[in-house]
Structure 1
Amino acid sequence: MNKITIAIDGFSSTGKSTIAKQLAKHLVYVYVDTGAMYRSVALYALQNGFISADHFNQEALILQLPKIELSFKFNGDLGYAEVYLNGINVEKKIRTLEVSSFVSQIATVSEVRKKLVEQQQKMGEDKGVVMDGRDIGTIVFPNAELKLFMVASAETRAERRYKELITRGDEVKYEAVLKNVTDRDYLDTTRKDSPLIKAIDAIEIDNSLLSIEQQFDKVLELAKKAIKSSN
């Protein structure tokens, strides 16, 4: 049976990673979290003082790009791959609200996008991949056999993110999480280089009222149809 490329795009906190992991595991495909790649670059920029609340030294970050090495290593206990920044596991560090508040700015830098898109395209050369992000169906894999575009209300997404952070032990306020969600929406959709837009042939899924199980069943059916059509 032929393998296909599945591209999942959408706004922040719409559960793209959750459904992508489920789908990849069920189909025995490779899962690539492109958001983790941009988050890792944002973490690097923070650690090296290139970005803060009141400044962003893009030139310094661009010069350091050759020194940023990203990789994914499968964690059997978790059932998915974790991201490594220069050989160090940063999976937990990149999920903080602090990193989230800068990742959209990092993603506006064309040189960063060029470097990461090239890596992402290489990862998907042999198909059999599920990749989620902001520009997978429009830029990274415009010829993907299945494209999904995930949406949900800002309030729903903020509530999900807030609960996730609280469960992890982070001290955050819902209002701050909601602001982060809406700020990222604005930056993601208005950036000049590869803005977040729905591909013409993408299937939109509003999961505001869907359970994780309902969403998976719906997406799996779409994936099966796409795989059948490719054979």
Structure 2
Amino acid sequence: MKKITIAIDGHSSTGKSTLAKQLAKELNYIYVDTGAMYRAVTLYAMQQGFISHDYFNEKELVANLQHIYLSFKFNEHLGFAEMFLNDENVEKAIRSIEVSGFVSKIAAVSEVRSKLVQQQKRYGIDKGVVMDGRDIGTVVFPDAELKIFMTASAEIRAKRRYLELLPSNPSVSFDEVLKNVTNRDAIDSTRKDSPLIIAPNAIVIDNSNLTKEEQFSKILDLATQAINA
């Protein structure tokens, strides 16, 4: 059976990563969470004091990109690869609301995108890969055999993200999460370098009213059709 490249793009908090992990596991494909890569760079910028709520030293971040080493290491107990930043497991740290608040600004930096896109392209050389992000179908893999663009209303996405964050951060508010979601939408869609747009030939999936099971079944059918085409 031939292997293909599956590119999943879309707005924040649409469940891209969860879906991509499921799909990769079902197809026995490699899964790459590009959002985790940008989050890891964001965490590095925060740790080094390059970015805060009222400050962003883009030049210092760019000057230090050579000191950032990103890798994925498979966790057998979890069933997926975790994000490592300079050999430190940062999988939990990069999922915080604080990182979410800065990641779109970091991802808008052309030099950051260039560094990460080069690494992402290498992952897909042999196909058999599922990759999710913002520019997978437009920049990383414009020739992907299957392109999915996932979306949902901002309110529904914020509710999902809020419920996800609540157990580890009881003080987080829904309004704070909703503001983060809408701000990220604006930055992702208007940045000059690789803005979030629907790729040519992409299939748009609005999962506002879909269960995870319905969504997975629908996209697995699309993947099967693309593999057998």
TM-score, normalised via structure 2 length: 0.99
4+ residue segments displaced more than 4 Å: none
Alignment partner, residue 196 of structure 2: 196
In 2, Cα distance between the equivalents of 1:166 and 1:87? 28
Alignment partner, residue 124 of structure 2: 124
> Aligned partner of 1:123: which letter?
Y
Alignment partner, residue 115 of structure 1: 115
Residue deviations 1:104-130, cap 9 Å, x none? Answer: 000110000000000000011110000
Alignment partner, residue 18 of structure 2: 18
Alignment partner, residue 30 of structure 1: 30
In 2, Cα distance between the equivalents of 1:123 and 1:72? 11
Residue deviations 1:142-173, cap 9 Å, x none? Answer: 00000000000000000000000013345200
In 2, Cα distance between the equivalents of 1:191 and 1:216? 30
Distance 1:218 1:61, change over 3 A: same
RMSD of Structure 2 on Structure 1 (CA): 0.6
> Aligned partner of 1:4: which letter?
I
TM-score, normalised via structure 1 length: 0.98
> Aligned partner of 1:146: which letter?
L
Q: Show structure 1 runs of 5+ residues with no match.
A: none
In 2, Cα distance between the equivalents of 1:128 and 1:32? 11
Secondary structure of the residue aligned to 1:167 is coil
Alignment partner, residue 157 of structure 1: 157
In 2, Cα distance between the equivalents of 1:94 and 1:156? 22
Q: How does 1:9-158 map to 2 (within 5 A)?
A: 9-158=9-158
Alignment partner, residue 221 of structure 1: 221
